[in-house]
């Protein structure tokens, strides 16, 4: 292995010697400094021992006179002082010797570094310089940093524009708005159900507050033993998610198609309140366009086909007037739906209910585009869909129409 390394260094001496010489100089200086420090760590008594201290003479026992004792003590103190002075001189000499060794080591190290640097500089100037006329390669990162930033910003702008265009489409907006919602299970699940009855509430409503006991009365009715009842629930926050009527209708239509995937329903009936009637009409149109089984009967209660009193609607539903812009007269949503409904030849039979006490939707708006209509003698916009018992006219009239339709599988005649 060493032979290969040596061979490589010799073959490329032109480039390796400028790197090896400083490295060898640094290693040599470091080893010299390390040797001197190790030398200083050798125990002092192995290199040079302090001068011996003469043993102290003891006072001869039995000395009789005080003068002899005093003289011996003075001689003893003198010998101790001499011993301390010699020890101090020896320690000072050792310290001086260590400082000289350290200075000599530092001088040698600096000299070695200076010599290595001078050798490197002398060798470096022997290398011929690269001719200026030879073009040097430029890396992409060093050559075009501004171009890369520009392309990155342009890519981000294109992606954001594409997302804006895709999300601006009504069908995509509807998918996003209804994402995560599922169709509720049947309120009364019949094993041998032959028909499906779907309740669709209005804006800012919910299954419990809008209909109260209405759906449960249908489940308890012995005449509807073969009818499954589903109460659609799209939360109030849909208005904040920009879920328009078209989007809600598309969602309801897809969920009905999933519920009837085995095609075991002979008839599909929709009962809708307020804005739910507009959704019901869109559901019927979408079912026809997608060649699905369309709803055969649509019962609408207080539906604003030609717009509504926005202030009254906001007050009745407890929402702001800004959220009722689709209910304005001559709004683009209502005009589009009216045009489609008028051109819809094979549309379901439509029964509409209204009341003179409805301060939100006028009589003309509630019965526009309907095949049959009925006017309740009283009850407000929200009270028309809350029958407390099965003998209440608000239950008897619409459910009687549904019962006849299911029994005959054809459009019923009005009472």
267-273 and 349-354 beta bridge pairing: unpaired
**86 shares its domain with 227:** no
**44 shares its domain with 192:** no
Q: Is 212 exposed, middle or buried (0-12, 13-18, 19+ CB in 10 A)?
A: middle
Listed residues 124, 157, 181: the one ending a domain: 124
**97 shares its domain with 220:** no
pTM of the model: 0.56
Helical H runs in 42-183?
A: 44-47, 66-124, 140-143, 145-168, 170-177
255 membership: H or E segment, kind and range: helix 245-259
195-200 and 227-232 beta bridge pairing: parallel
| Selection from 375, 348, 343, 347 nearest residue 362 by Cα | 375
Measured CA to CA, the distance from residue 258 to residue 183 in angstroms comes to 9
Percent of the residues in the chain that have a pLDDT greater than 90, as a whole number = 19
pLDDT by residue (tens digit) across 297-328? Answer: 999 999 998 888 765 666 666 655 555 666 77
Residue 144 included in any domain: no
One DSSP character per residue, 115-127 reads: HHHHHHHHHHTTS
**246 shares its domain with 348:** yes
**90 shares its domain with 209:** no
Q: Which domain holds residue 296?
A: 171-408
If one counts the domains in the chain, the total is 2
Long-range CB contacts for residues 316-321, cutoff 8 Å, separation at least 24: 316/359, 316/360, 316/380, 316/381, 316/382, 317/202, 317/203, 317/204, 317/205, 318/204, 319/203, 319/204, 319/236, 319/239
**117 shares its domain with 181:** no
Residue 411 phi, psi (nearest 5): -65, 125
**262 shares its domain with 376:** yes
- At 242 the pLDDT is 43
Residue 69 included in any domain: no
Residue 10 included in any domain: yes
Residue 413 included in any domain: no
Residue 273 included in any domain: yes
Listed residues 124, 155, 181: the one ending a domain: 124
**235 shares its domain with 95:** no
Interhelix angle 275-289/332-343, nearest 10 degrees = 50
**Structural tokens at position 367:** 């019965």
**318 shares its domain with 374:** yes
Per-residue pLDDT of the chain (415 residues; tens, 9 = 90+): 667 676 776 666 666 666 767 777 777 777 777 777 666 665 554 555 555 555 545 444 554 578 888 888 888 888 898 888 888 888 888 888 888 888 888 887 887 777 777 776 666 555 555 555 655 555 544 445 666 677 777 778 788 777 666 555 555 455 545 555 566 788 887 777 888 999 998 877 778 889 999 999 999 999 898 899 999 887 654 444 445 677 778 888 888 887 776 667 888 999 999 888 998 999 888 888 777 777 889 999 999 988 887 656 666 666 555 556 667 777 788 888 888 888 888 889 999 999 999 988 999 999 998 999 999 998 999 899 999 999 999 999 999 999 999 888 644 444 3
Strand order through the sheet with 195-200: 227-232, 195-200, 267-273, 297-301, 349-354, 372-375
Residue 131 included in any domain: no
Q: What share of the chain is helix, strand, coil (3-state, %, to 5)?
A: 60, 10, 35
List the CATH number of the domain containing 394: 3.40.50.1820
**Structural tokens at position 16:** 């390796």
DSSP at 382: T
Residue 160 included in any domain: no
**223 shares its domain with 347:** yes
**87 shares its domain with 178:** no
SS3 298: strand
**113 shares its domain with 200:** no
Residue 166 included in any domain: no
């Amino acid at each position: 292995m060493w032979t290969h390394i040596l061979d490589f260094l010799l073959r490329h001496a032109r480039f390796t010697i400028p790197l090896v010489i400083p490295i060898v100089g640094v290693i040599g200086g470091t080893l010299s400094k390390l040797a001197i420090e190790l030398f200083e760590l050798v125990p002092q008594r192995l290199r040079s021992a302090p001068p011996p201290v003469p043993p102290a003479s003891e006072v001869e026992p039995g000395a009789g006179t005080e003068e002899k004792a005093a003289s011996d003590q003075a001689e003893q103190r003198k010998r101790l002082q001499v011993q301390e002075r010699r020890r101090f001189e020896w320690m000072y000499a050792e310290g001086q010797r260590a400082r000289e060794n350290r200075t000599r080591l530092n001088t040698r190290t600096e000299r070695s570094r200076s010599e290595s640097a001078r050798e490197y500089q002398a060798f470096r100037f022997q290398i011929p310089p690269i001719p200026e006329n030879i073009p040097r390669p430029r890396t992409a990162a060093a050559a075009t940093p501004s171009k890369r930033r520009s392309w990155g910003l342009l890519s981000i702008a294109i992606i954001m524009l594409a997302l804006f265009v895709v999300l601006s489409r009504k069908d995509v907006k509807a998918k996003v708005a209804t994402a995560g919602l599922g169709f509720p299970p049947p309120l009364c699940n019949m094993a041998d159900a032959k028909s499906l009855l779907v309740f669709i509430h209005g804006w800012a409503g919910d299954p419990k507050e809008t209909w109260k006991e209405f759906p449960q009365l249908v489940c308890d009715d012995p005449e509807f033993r073969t009818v499954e009842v589903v109460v659609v629930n799209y939360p109030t926050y849909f208005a904040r998610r920009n879920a328009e009527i078209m989007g809600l209708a598309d969602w309801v239509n897809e969920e009905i198609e999933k519920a009837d995937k085995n095609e075991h329903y002979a008839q599909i009936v929709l009962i809708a309140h307020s804005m739910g009637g507009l959704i019901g009409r869109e559901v019927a149109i979408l079912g026809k366009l997608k060649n699905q089984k369309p709803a055969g009967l649509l019962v609408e209660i207080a539906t604003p086909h030609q717009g509504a009193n926005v202030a009254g609607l906001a007050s009745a539903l407890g929402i702001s007037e800004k959220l009722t812009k689709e209910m304005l007269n001559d709004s683009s949503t209502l005009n589009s739906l009216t045009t489609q409904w008028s051109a819809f030849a094979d549309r379901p039979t439509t029964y509409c209910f209204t009341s003179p006490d409805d301060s939100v939707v006028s009589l003309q708006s509630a019965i526009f585009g309907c095949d049959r209509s009925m006017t309740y003698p009283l009850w407000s916009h929200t009270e028309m869909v809350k029958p407390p018992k099965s003998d209440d006219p608000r239950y008897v009239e619409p459910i009687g129409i549904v019962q006849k339709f299911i029994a005959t599988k054809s459009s019923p005649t009005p009472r």
